[in-house]
Structure 1
Amino acid sequence: MIISIGVIITVLIVVIVLFINLSPEFGGKATDEQKAFYKTSENYKDDRFVNKHKVKLDMSLRDMGKSLVGYFSPQPKTIPKEELPVSKIDSTNIAEYNDKTRLIWFGHSTFLVQIDHKNILIDPMFGDVPAPHPMLGSKRFSKELPIEIEKIPKIDAVLISHDHYDHLDYGSIKKLKNKVKMFYTPLGVGVHLQKWGLEKERIIELDWWQDISLEGLRFICTPAQHFSGRGLTDRTKTLWSSWIIKSDNENIFFSGDSGYDDHFKEIGEKFGPFDFAMIECGQYNELWPDVHMFPEETAQAGLDIRARKIMPIHWGAFKLAMHSWTDPIERVTKTAKELNIDIIVPKIGESIFLKENDSIDTTVNDKWWQTLE
């Protein structure tokens, strides 16, 4: 019996090691030359990227056990009883669009932004499961997307906030790479894109507070409080960030994943006010309060960055925590009303026009999610 158990454990270890080393999902590793360049960043210390303030990333064995038990055991309402509604859009509509700035939410943190006659994708995760293998994660809450990835027309730029699976998806990048002109990432994330066949010339990596222009648009890489990693040994080996998209007439903020801290106020002071802000609101837990915001903090972050209108994101697609799937949106809308913050909560695929829908009541009172509990 002991020998049999030993053989089984050995086989499992071998399978796991082979999977991690052979599967392209895990991405690439930085060269010595790239690491030497990272050392010029104030955010890189002892061969790893760091947050502005000390952040607890390692859970105790007890907390890790609680987390695993909570995740894999049945929890009330963590997944909707039925498919989430999705508004469809066709490729012609996207390709021929030539009007005011429009955003389309794909659920979670993925967006198509059409601004100044350009198409921009943010954190393009179009896969069914945010994990290196379908058996290692929960499925998307909707079977369909607003448009299938194969039908997406030419994309001018892709912005990536960090390398976690629910934001950087191998399958999506492989299907998108020949449609995209340029990819913009925080420092280090480009190693994954190169591993997946992208030319170095089409990848631009930025440090916090650095910016780059693309035909009149300005992309600014701004801080977040989070971490990174796709495997067992690469935690914090690449940087994480938020992003600003700035045109002559509009100023848009995307939080990426982040715990609440004073970087939001700093961003607001340097680059605010913002016409529209997409701010993380979901996948939180008292076990990891430093790296994901609670909904009340999401609303406060909107005030900190001086946003005229906020949209809660990082919810409505996947189960990555133990709270009910509607808890984020119920709590953030309540707090936004108390703080007098203008908030919109579109269905997946609905078009968002920045200069319209200024009334807080119209969108919030719709509460489309309540019919799906």
Structure 2
Amino acid sequence: MQYNNRTIFCNENEEARLPPKVTLREALKYYQNFPKNAKPRHQIPFMESDFHTFYQYPHIAWLGHSSLFISYQYARILVDPLLTMYASPISFINRAFEQTKCYKANEFPYLLAVIITHSHYDHLDKKSVLALNKQTKYFICPLKVGYYLQQWGIESHRIVELDWWDGIGFALNSSQIKVNNHVANPERYSQDSAMFLRRSRQEIIKQDDTMIESKKQITQSIAPKDNLNNQERQIIQNSGYMESYLQDSFLHVIATPSQHNSRRLDKLGFNASLWASFVLEFAPNTQDYRKLFLSADGGYYTHFERIGEIFDGFDLACLESGQYNQAWKHSHSFPHEILQEAQNLQAQAVLPIHWARFIAGTHAWNGVAKFLFHELTKIHIPCVIPKIGEFYQIGSFDFMQNQEKWWIME
């Protein structure tokens, strides 16, 4: 799409393709005239966790706002790390709550990857990237976000840029992690191919750790050739995603659509880099298969239903839960829309993110969390709200029975 004589990235929703028109009055209301309960009055509790702990099954720890730490066997991943007390190019603007925890790079082990969901300052922070640089193997991000990383000195061979529906697989050999071929399948936009891929994935799970030697074997294990339509046959032949299952991958990271935008205070301007949600698949070819969805920032649209259909649901969905405002209604989700997202994704549990560290709009700092915990229960979807730094095993329901409702405080 052309905008101001430049080619830019754009959302699927035509109503969300241009920058939101926010008045000065609305901006002042957001940054200065916010309600008193937009900030917590008390210390936000956090847990002193050991991020070096080895976990046989995938665990996740929310670090406040949209930052997440994921630990699975020898793979440790940080998502949108923000190791400073502000989320802006200027240190005195958009300050973090004084009552919340701020992590440091030396608290984390060597990282397989840092995932950056988009280029906004509360997700891509230069100081945090540089602090983590020496202990991080790969930086995974949407298209053109790598430009900023290279400008800051990150070597290009350590940057993995992904388009929507593109991904990367990691294999584990004697505790050494290697990169498999890219996981890519644009055909996933089709519902027919979604049904086929889901069926093929279920067949692979049944084989329980058995390596599939060739495309011929995977084709025969799914269905006789005579039962395949032309589209399905083409997917088998061309799909990089199916190829990934021929590898001994224990982790897939896949970029999926989101409805948002990107901008930093630089010459590149509006929407010069892509934004994305992400799917992580753990042990995809075993009976321990788990699926995690990371919404990052974004408003509600049809992509949630498509992602849920294609991946056949998620064990956990981390959904943006703050900063909604009518002035930018397409860029952030309203509370009732988050409920719809959870259902569209076929989520078995929801973990709210994008809250509890910064002023998140003209609403209470914990308002969305309270709403989700109450309303998700009505539609039989557990809401997982761990303390900052507290680990939760993805796919486990034990935590929900005993979780402390710390977020109820004012």
TM over 0.5: yes
Could you list the runs of 5+ residues in structure 1 that have no partner in the other structure?
1-38, 40-44
Q: Is the counterpart of residue 183 in structure 1 residue 218 in structure 2?
A: no
Query: Pick from 132, 139, 156: which aligns with 2:112?
Result: 156
Q: CA deviation at 1:338?
A: 2.1
CA distance, structure 2, for counterparts of residue 116 and residue 79 of structure 1: 37
Tell me whether 1:227 sits opposite 2:264 in the alignment: no
Q: 1:83 aligns with which of 12, 34, 43?
A: 43
Offset, 1:356: 2.6
Q: Output the CA distance in 1 between the equivalents of 2:312 and 2:332.
A: 22
Q: Which amino acid in structure 2 is aligned with residue 67 of structure 1?
A: A
In 2, the alpha carbon distance for the partners of 1:310 and 1:224 equals 17
Q: 1:228 to 1:74 in 2, by over 3 A?
A: closer
- Whole-angstrom distance in 1 between the partners of 2:316 and 2:45: 24
**Structure 1 residues 267 and 153: alpha-carbon distance in aligned structure 2, compared to 1, 3 A threshold:** same
Q: Is the contact made by 1:86 and 1:142 (CA closer than 8 Å) also made in structure 2?
A: no
Q: Select the residue among 307, 311, 325 that pairs with 1:267.
A: 307
Q: Which amino acid aligns with 2:281?
A: K
Q: CA deviation at 1:67?
A: 2.7
Question: Aligned match of 1:242 in 277, 294, 298?
Answer: 277
Q: So what's the TM-score if we normalise by structure 1?
A: 0.82
Q: Distance in 1 between matches of 2:347 and 2:45?
A: 28
Structure 1 residue 347: Cα displacement:
1.0
Distance in 1, Cα, partners of 2:336 & 2:51: 34
1:348 aligns with 2:304: no
Counterpart code for 1:229: R
Corresponding residue of 1:368: 406
* Aligned amino acid, residue 245 of structure 1: L
Contact 2:29 2:362 in 1 (8 A): no
Structure 1 residues 192-203: aligned runs within 5 Å: 192-203=148-159
Partner letter of residue 159 of structure 1?
I
Equivalent residue for 1:207? 163
Task: Give, in angstroms, the shift of residue 330 of structure 1.
Answer: 1.4
Tell me how far apart the structure 2 counterparts of residues 210 and 74 of structure 1 sit (CA, whole Å): 39
How many angstroms does 1:280 deviate by? 0.6
Q: Does 1:218 align with 2:252?
A: yes
Counterpart of 2:46, as a letter, is: V
Check whether the contact 2:78–2:114 (CA below 8 A) recurs between aligned residues.
yes
Distance 1:226 1:258 in 2: 5
Do the aligned partners of residues 60 and 222 (structure 1) sit closer, same or farther apart at CA in structure 2, a change above 3 Å counting?
closer
Question: What TM-score comes out, normalization by structure 2 length?
Answer: 0.75
Alignment of 1:41-56 (within 5 A): 46-54=6-14, 55=16
> What SS does the corresponding residue of 2:134 show, helix, strand or coil?
coil
Report the 3-state secondary structure (helix = DSSP H, G, I; strand = E; otherwise coil) of the residue aligned with 1:94. coil
Q: 1:216-272 CA deviation, whole Å, 9 max, x = no partner?
A: 211111000000011165110000000011122211110111100010001011113
Q: 1:104 Cα deviation (Å)?
A: 1.0
1:153 shift after superposition: 1.4
The whole-number CA distance in structure 2 between the counterparts of 1:316 and 1:100 is 27
- Give the secondary structure class of the aligned counterpart of 1:253: strand
Q: Is the contact between residue 61 and residue 392 of structure 2 (CA under 8 Å) also seen in structure 1?
A: yes
Contact preservation (8 Å) 1:116, 1:247: no
Question: Using a 3 Å threshold, how does the CA distance of structure 1 residues 60 and 119 change in structure 2: closer, same or farther?
Answer: closer
Alignment map for 1:73-152 (pairs within 5 Å): 73-89=33-49, 93-145=50-102, 147-152=103-108
**Cα distance change, pair 103–141 in 1 and its aligned pair in 2 (3 A):** farther
2-structure distance, mates of 1:277, 1:143: 23
Aligned to 1:7: none
For the 8 Å contact 1:219–1:245, the answer to whether it is kept is yes
What is the CA–CA distance in structure 2 between the aligned matches of 1:299 and 1:193, rounded to whole Å? 35
Of residues 107-116 and 131-140 in structure 1, the stretch that sits farther from structure 2 once superposed is: 131-140
Displacement of 1:198: 0.2
Q: 1:66 to 1:94 in 2, by over 3 A?
A: closer
Shift, 1:57, TM fit: 4.7
Q: Structure 2: which 5+ runs fail to align?
A: 172-248, 284-288
The one-letter code of the counterpart of 1:235 is F
Query: What residue identity is the alignment partner of 2:340?
Result: Q
The one-letter amino acid of 1:99's match is Q
Moved more, 198-207 or 76-85: 76-85
| Cα distance in structure 1, aligned partners of 2:107 and 2:72 | 20
**CA-CA distance at 1:334 after TM superposition:** 2.3
Cα separation, partners in 2 of 1:140 and 1:60, compared to 1, 3 Å: same
**1:174 and 2:209 equivalent?**
no
Instruction: Give the deviation of 1:359 after TM superposition.
Output: 7.0
- Contact residue 296 and residue 319 of structure 2 kept, 8 A: yes
SS in 2 for 1:177: helix
Contact 2:307 2:345 in 1 (8 A): yes
**Once superposed, what is the RMSD of the aligned Cα atoms?**
2.1
Q: Is the 8 A contact 1:308 1:342 kept in 2?
A: yes
Which deviates the most, 128-137 or 348-357?
Answer: 348-357
Q: Is the 8 A contact 2:47 2:388 kept in 1?
A: yes
Cα distance 1:73–1:98, how it changes in 2: closer, same or farther (>3 A)? closer
**Aligned equivalents of 2:59 and 2:99: distance in 1?**
22
2:28 pairs with 1:68? yes
Deviations 1:341-361 (A, max 9, x none): 121111101111124335755
Shift of 1:121: 0.8
Which amino acid counterpart does residue 208 of structure 1 have in structure 2? W
Q: Distance in 2 between matches of 1:232 and 1:199?
A: 21
